[in-house]
Chain A
Amino acid sequence: MAWQMNSDRPIYSQLYDKILVRIVCGVYKAGNRLPSVRDLAAEASVNPNTMQRAFAELEHSGLIVTQRNSGRVVTEDMTKIETARHQLALTQVQSFIANMRELGYNDQEIMELIKSIVQ
């Protein structure tokens, strides 16, 4: 997964989203250690302070936990990860529906289109 940044949003919040996706997808598994701030910052070519801030936000929302001896680990609280996953899914669907409405589809047409494609 590339670390492509958009220009308009703060970098730390974009980093937040990208790490969140990695946690939800299981790239960083529950209870496992996360890479260090410095390594991840180098990988993403961003400022370590910014990466630090993204981590702090993740910590704030309870998705990662700082342990005294093993550094930062992904939370083992599966419900939290599940909630985050659900939140991401909701955002995706909402933006999808918004875009479809912009194209002039009504809700029923959207549902039918989805059904036909999923089958």
Chain B
Amino acid sequence: MLGKLLKYEWRGLRFPFLVMMIVLASTTVLTCSVIYTINPNYNEAIPWYSSMALMFSIFLYYFGLIGCSIGLSLIIVIRFYNTCYTDQGYLTHTLPVTTRQILHAKLIAAFVADVLMVLAIAISLFLIIQVTLHHILSFIPEFTYADLMWEISRGIGEFEEIFGIRIGLYFAYLAIYSLIGTIANIVTLFGCVSLGQLYAKHRIIGAILAYFIVQFILQVLAYFASLPMYARMLGTSYNSDFSFFGLMSPTMNLMLFFSVALAVFMYFANMHMLTKRLNLE
């Protein structure tokens, strides 16, 4: 049954997701092609129209990115609200499945969509950087792409010295951090919608209110989480024991802990609201 639920969750997200992919792809292609038209020779001034085009396309690309990432979250949340708490809830909650399966299907589908979106954005950024580099290097005959790669690999060699952690480990840490962050974010968004149901007369306003309260609490927690970082920074001015990662890690770990705790709380809040407190209009 979880599989069937997932199938229909994906079908519900498929179309808007596709639209966002098209937006992302087209702004990427536009930006790349604008970059190609620019001639970065030192002795020639860049014509006004190509700098305008560049500004415009970067502007579009930027808003495409923001739109896609916020848009996806918004669509996931709206779908959750519609299928669980509006008239469609009558169908959702009378399917022969457990509430847990419904919630899990929605979480998994949203997580997959989020990860795919992050991958798509990463690919798009990579493409733009590659195009820009190749284009610029084509005007500098004495410096090749291979030279650049060699420079970068030397930089990576020095990474551990500066950051205090091996680069692979650092990226693994970041990956886990953002995966957990993504899950926590989805559960929290769903939880805000669910908790909004407590405000029976204006359930959407209740959800938005819940979101702001959660954000406020997160800000306060972030402040406390940053205290060890400041303490270590003060410490470093006397003796430079701490690497960059050494400075950051307690704060990041604390934030990770807070978001896991929040996610667990929100998971149970969702379950409670979807079972015991369910009250469709």
Contact flag (A, B; Cβ within 8 A): no
